[in-house]
Amino acid sequence: SQQGEEDPQALSIQEGENATMNCSYKTSINNLQWYRQNSGRGLVHLILIRSNEREKHSGRLRVTLDTSKKSSSLLITASRAADTASYFCATEQAGTALIFGKGTTLSVSS
């Protein structure tokens, strides 16, 4: 079963622009994670934000978490062609393993 719903499903931007993806979920969580997947390959962990955190940064990535709205956003600043990939949010709840959202496909053109 899917917990997270990403928005938008697809996003096309130019190099240098910022990309924002949103994730909504349904139940209480321990943490929320973002993963990147290049076409047909394995997933790469980007960032984890715990339920008691509101914002986290890692390089060009900024993640926010609003537990009252059950939503999170991933901001990629100054995007590059190499950022082209699918991005998934995943939630960890008590008593279960990670549940992935449907994903956002990001295309960055030069």
CA distance 29 to 61: 21
- Beta strand 104-109 with 10-14: parallel, antiparallel or unpaired? parallel
DSSP reduced 3-state for 18: coil
CA distance 10 to 1: 21
Nearer to another protein, 36 or 70 (CB): 36
* Choices 13-21, 43-51, 54-62, 72-80; region in contact with another protein by CB under 8 A: 43-51
When asked if residue 7 is in the footprint of another protein (CB under 8 A), the reply is: no
When asked if residue 59 is in the footprint of another protein (CB under 8 A), the reply is: no
Query: For another protein, which residue of 31, 73, 77, 107 counts as binding (CB under 8 A)?
Result: 31
